Amino acid sequence: MLGRTANDLFWMSRYIERAENMARLLEVGYRIALLPREGGGEPEWFSTLRSAGCEQGFLEKYKTYATDDVVRYMLFDPDNFSSVYSCLSTARRNARAQRTAMTREMWESLNSAWIEFAAINQKALTSDKLPPLFDWIKERSALFRGALLNTILRNDTFYFNQLGTFLERADNTARILDVKYYVLLPHAELVGGEIDNAQWSAILRSVSAHRSYHWVYRESYKPWRVADYLILNRQMPRSLRSCYDEIANALAELNTYYGATNGCETQARDTLRLLSEANMTTIFQSGLHEFLADFIGRNNGLGSAISKTYHFAD
C-alpha cells in the first residue's frame, strides 16, 4: 500500500470519528443551554469548545459565547478544521483520493453524507431542527463505520482505518475528562448537589454512556466511578482502555500482516499496560489531570510514530 494511501485512510477515519464526537458534544452542550439558568446569563459553552479543541479558534472570531455562534462554528465553519463541515469534507476528499482502497459501500455512505450535509440550508435551521441534525450526523458516522466493518478486507486497509478511529476516540474521551476533571475528584462529592449530578450526567452523555453506566455499576453516579468507567473499564467502548485494546490489536495485526516488528506496537503496549495495571485510587493520588495530560501526550506521540514508521509522507 502507498504511504499516501495509509495516511489518507487513517485521517479519513479520524475525521469521521471527530464529526461524530462534535455532534455528541454539541448535543450535550445544547441540552444544557436549553435548561433554565439561575439568574439568566449565558450558557456555559467554554468547556464544550475546549473539549472539542476549538476554543482558541472560536475566541479569535467571537467575543461572547452566543449559542448560535457556537453551533455555527462547530457545525459549519470551514475555518474551523474540526467543524463537522470540515471533517466531512476532508474525509470525503481523502476517500475520493483513495477510491481504490474503499469498498463501494464505504464510499457511497460517505459521499451521500457529504452531499446531504453540503445541501443543508443553514438559514432554515431553527432550534427544533438541531437535535435531529445531531442524530443524523451520528447515524451517518455509524453507517460509514458499519459499511467499513462489514465490507472492508482485513488487511492493512482495515488496520489503518482502525488506528485512525481509535486514536481519535481516545483523544476525544481524554479531553472531555480533562476539561471536567475537577468535578470528578472524590472530594467533589462532598460539594455534591444537583449541579454536579448534572455535570456527571453530561460527561456520560457526551460519550453516550449515561444509561449503560447503570447497567455496569448498578448505582447512582459517583464521580470516581464515572472516571473509572471512561478510563479503565474494558466494557465501555469509548474508554481509554477499550481504545488501546483496539489500537494495540490493530498494530499487532498490521505487524503480522507485514511480517515485521517496530516501535509503534511496543509504544501502544506500554500505554495499554499502564491502563490495565492502574486503578482509580492510584490515579487520583498522583493526580487525575496529570494522568490525563500524560495520556494525551502519549496518544499524540503514537500518532506521530505511526505516521513516521509507515511512511505516511515521505
Partner 1 sequence: MKGFDGAVREPYHSVHEWLSTQKIDDLRRKRSEAEALFRRTGITFAVYGDDAATERLIPFDIVPRILSGAEWRRLSAGIEQRVRALNAFMYDIYHRQEIIKAGRIPADLVIQNAAFVPEMMCVEPARGIYSHIIGIDLVRTSENEFFVLEDNTRTPSGVSYMLENRETMMHMFPELFSRNRVQAVEDYPESLRLTLESVAPDNLDRAPTCVVLTPGIHNSAYFEHSFLADQMGVELVEGQDLVVVDGALHMKTTRGLRQVDVVYRRIDDPFLDPLVFRRDSVLGVPGIFDVYRAGRLTIVNAPGAGIADDKSIYTYVPDIVEFYTGRPPILKNVPTYQCRKPDDLTYVLENLEKLVVKEVHGSGGYGMLVGPAASRDEVDMFRMKVKARPERYIAQPTLALSTCPTLVEAGIAERHIDLRPFVLVGDRVRLTPGGLTRVALREGSLVVNSSQGGGTKDTWVLQE
Of 35-94, which residues contact partner 1 (CB under 8 A)? 93
- Nearer to partner 1 by C-beta: 108 or 294? 108
Residue of 31, 72, 96, 222 that binds partner 1 (CB under 8 A) = 96
Residues 115-134 interacting with partner 1 (rule: CB under 8 A):
115, 118
CB of 85 to partner 1, least distance (A): 12
Q: How far is the CB of 96 from partner 1 (least distance, A)?
A: 5
76 contacts 84 by C-beta, under 8 angstroms:
yes
- 256-275 residues in contact with partner 1 (CB under 8 A) are 258, 260
Q: Which three cell numbers stand for residue 31?
A: 441540552
The answer to whether 32 and 43 have CB atoms below 8 angstroms apart is yes
Compute the distance between CA of residue 23 and CA of residue 265 in angstroms, rounded to an integer.
31
Q: Least Å distance between CB 27 and partner 1?
A: 26
What is the total count of residues that contact partner 1 (CB under 8 A)?
Answer: 27
Task: Determine if 289 is a binding residue for partner 1 (CB under 8 A).
Answer: no
Toward partner 1, which CB reaches closer, 45 or 144?
144
Which of 3, 146, 192, 287 touches partner 1 (CB under 8 A)?
A: 3
Task: Name residue, grid cell 458499519.
Answer: 146
Measure the CA angle with vertex 177, ends 174 and 183; round to 5°: 165
Among 35, 36, 38, 100, binds partner 1 (CB under 8 A): 100
- Say which residues have a Cβ less than 8 Å from residue 284's Cβ, sequence separation at least 6: 185, 186, 224
CA distance 110 to 55: 28
Q: Give every CB contact of residue 26 below 8 A, 6+ residues apart in sequence.
A: 48, 71, 74, 75, 130, 134
What are the residues binding partner 1 (CB under 8 A)? 1-6, 93, 96-100, 104, 107-108, 111-112, 114-115, 118, 156, 160, 258, 260, 310-311, 314
